[in-house]
Amino acid sequence: MSQPWMTRRVGLAALTLAAFGAWQTAGAVGTAANTTVSNQSTVSYSVGGVAQTPIPSSPTGNSTPGGGAPTTFVVDNRIDLTVVEVGSANTSVTPGQLNQVTTFRVTNTGNSAQGYQLTPTNLAGTTLFGNTDNTDVANLRVFVDGNGNGTYDAGVDTATAIDTLAADANVVVFIVADIPAGATNGQFANVQLSARAAVAGTAGATLATETAGADTPGAVDTVFGDAARDATEAAADQYAVSSAALTVTKTSAVVNDPFNGATNPKAIPGAHVEYAIAILNTGAASATGLQIADPLPASTTFRTGGYNAGAADVSITVGAGPATFCIAEAGADTNADGCSRTATDLVVGAPALATVLIGAGNAVTVRFQVTIN
């Protein structure tokens, strides 16, 4: 016959194992904050081989069969979040563009609704997508995707903080910036979005605080569960400046004179001098809307009919291609070919000259002639 103390020890051992299993399950991340967890143990035992009435547990101790009370606690608030860049690629921009967008996603991985204070910053000197930051963007702003379409809509996406985000929910956030007009092709500007947990419903104004000291029974304490234990996470994105990069070279050569003709001509009065303006685009984007303004030099006179058997005044070639021509009439561009001149200036623009594509094979050369007075 088992001794009474042996029966009680076996029962208590079984109770301990059961409680350990329950702790393992209850500790799983995801139970909502302020959830009340309640249970009650029952101890069965025998005395002298006779089963006695089971005794339920109580937080304060119970020895009365059928009495007792459940033991309860309240699940505390675990603050956790992630911030990630959306798209896994940089944003291509050109100098002077306004309101250019990079995109992020903020996810509440905690167990209660939270708000978030959002902060955009330039991230100097860092490397992202294999490119090192070497410039800054201007007028940094941050907006929350108000209609959930994942695209920045000015006038719709106006919130600058996350007021309330449910547990396990996420929202897209945009950094919007202006690209300086002085940015150059091949520059990179890294930006960072930081999200700091705040009290839900305060539009990010009241930051969350962690509960100090021991657990407060029956109350919801707050624990920062993110990697740095500071309720803040951040991610970076990049603006890549893609622009034309023009090299303009202007040379001159004497093409004939009144005495030597085209054989070893000299720059004497009456000689014809040809100017060649070469434009090379080594950037990553085409240069459009091109226009050359060239003040005609003093002591010279613009030569008309210098090209295309006397029918044109200006010659334009692209790479090794054939020449095209235009007439630089005095005054208004009456034939709308893009070439005209005043008493002192030659202007060459569209359509005669409109676009310079990238690459050496697309170099544009504009030629015109003057006569030395």
> pLDDT at position 1, please?
36
Delimiting residues of CATH 2.60.40.10 domain(s) in the chain: 78-241
C-alpha to C-alpha distance for 333 and 301, rounded to whole angstroms: 19
What would the mean pLDDT of 350-356 be, rounded to a whole number? 94
For every residue of 85-112, DSSP letters joined together read: ESSSS-EEE-TT--SEEEEEEEEE-SSS
DSSP 24: H
Q: Can you give the pLDDT at residue 17?
A: 32
Please state the rounded mean pLDDT for residues 189-210: 97
User: Class for domain 246-372, per CATH?
Assistant: mainly beta
When pLDDT is averaged across residues 321-340 and rounded to a whole number, the result is: 95
Q: What is the pLDDT of residues 168-182, one digit of tens each?
A: 999 999 999 999 999
pLDDT mean over 35-64 = 94
* Residue 217, pLDDT score: 86
Q: What is the mean pLDDT of residues 242-255?
A: 95
Give the residue, 331 or 10, on which the prediction is more confident: 331
Confidence check: pLDDT of 24 > 50: no
User: For the residues 241-246, what does the mean pLDDT come to?
Assistant: 93
Is 80 exceeded by the pLDDT of residue 6?
no
Q: Is residue 63 predicted with pLDDT exceeding 80? A: yes
**102-130 per-position pLDDT tens digit:** 999 999 999 999 999 999 999 999 999 99
Distances (CA, A) of 284 to 84, 219, 245, 280, 367: 28, 60, 8, 12, 26
Beta bridge partners of 103: 174
pLDDT at 23 over 80: no
pLDDT of amino acid 29 = 53
Homologous superfamily of 78-241: Immunoglobulins (2.60.40.10)
